[in-house]
Chain A
Amino acid sequence: MSGVLVSATGITHTFGKGPAAFTALHDVALTVRAGELLLLMGPSGSGKTTLLHVLGCLLRPTQGQVQVLGQDTAGLRDAALGRLRLKHFGFVFQAHNLFPMLTAAENVMVALDLAGQRGAAARRRAEDLLGVVGLSTHCNAYPATLSGGQRQRVAIARALAADPVVLMADEPTAALDSDNGHRVMDLFRALAADQRRGVVIVTHDPRIVPLAGRIVRLDDGRVVPEPARMETA
């Protein structure tokens, strides 16, 4: 399984029980490989966000198996899953959820602190990461003083803090204008192509389709086959 970062097989997930039960995913199989930028697309309610949760070990599937770097996650307790996420995954959210009272560097340092890096070394690493996303001059800026695109890039820097092998993003460009959207997507593409990370993005944004290495479309909780697109690496 060389290059396979996350492998999901036979994933079915049902919310609720009894007559009100709703099955969001039906027997989905998917792998995330190093160096690829994978888009999860589909109409609202198709199950793409649920699949992102399952792939990111935020949600245990009702059935099926998720392996992260070959490790089966089924038997892990919540705390162990948390450590797994901390070690291997970085998350970027539509609303970025930065602490408003912390500077850009300090927001990145939150993730470093969780990973056990503290003090001057953490500060230097936070500044380096902000440099990677083009914000080296905004280390001491508070989120309120940054544009939407800049905030999203701070969130990406934060997601990279623990040096994850997989980045997961939920609608990262939805709140951005075209320029900022492209800038953020270029960053994701570079992270996949240049740094050999797996990048999984849930999106409705058709503007970013040309940048994807692979697209997985979902409909009613099932994967719809998609013709091959350009590779990212």
Chain B
Amino acid sequence: MKRWPLFALAAALLAYPWLVAGTDSAAFLQDTGALVLLAAIGASAWNIVGGYAGQISVGHAMFFGAGAYLPLLVYQHWQLPPLVGVPLGVAASLVIAVFIGFPTFRLVGHYFSMATIAVAELLRIVVGNWDFLGAAIGLQGPATARGWYDVIFRSAVPYYYIFLAVLALLILATWRMQQSRLGYYLGAIRAGERAARSLGVPVRRYKLYALMLSAGFTSLAGSLYALKTGFVDPDSGLGILVSVQMIITAALGGAGTLFGPLLGAAILVPLQTATNTWLGGSGSGLTYIVYGGVIVLIARFEPGGLLELWHRLLAARRRRAEVRHAA
């Protein structure tokens, strides 16, 4: 693989807030950039279990919600800095991951999908009726920063760079995973579970590892969301649309690819911002009709997502060029 596209991408991402700083809508563009990175983090985290291991979770909102709720919860009840809740969210997500993964990973894949959506809904209903967790109203973070440890900034730029650092870490971790035994085992499991098992791959254990890794990073995405917005309620933290956002972002770019989720986020987030701006509040409903349609179209025509389509088009062009060369 050539190195320069990677360096170009890194340079572009690092320079982006600075490049748009001179424009009229600098704050808006910087904020959108931060949202793209956040969506990319969530989708890349989903991608580990949904893309690489081929176990389709439709309830990742539960990990996102754990990560979003705990930082605000420790502030609300004990005035602790929200940062304290971040590792607690990761720990809670790992517990939930084992709780779901352990029984369902010995069954065929559909059980896992059904269990994830059922547990996510269960959590949403319970949290929505539990006063300690803010019930239907939700939780709020500190209004003004008491110190650096509250991680509150007026501008979106510091968040942008924090998100970029986490995304880089996540992509690096995924890349290392791809090269490792875990990555090869997951590839075998995705290609055919029975064959993988007959070759001696401990299928259930490695699916569980993938889910735990994915859950931990998804929880981190939830925490970053809560730190930036300072607010979470059952719908924004645990609603099914949170899961949908991760799935469609990863699947559009390319599930099971390193940069597919980032590509998906770079397309979908600006698109969603644009429809909401043009169509007002009523646009959000339309957005999800389009999302549903796009998911169906990806599943029907291009399960590999845009990256695979791109590689196929490139290969076809190269073949044509070779034919012309030979003739």
- Tell me whether A and B are bound partners: no
Residues on B lying within 8 angstroms of A by beta carbon are none
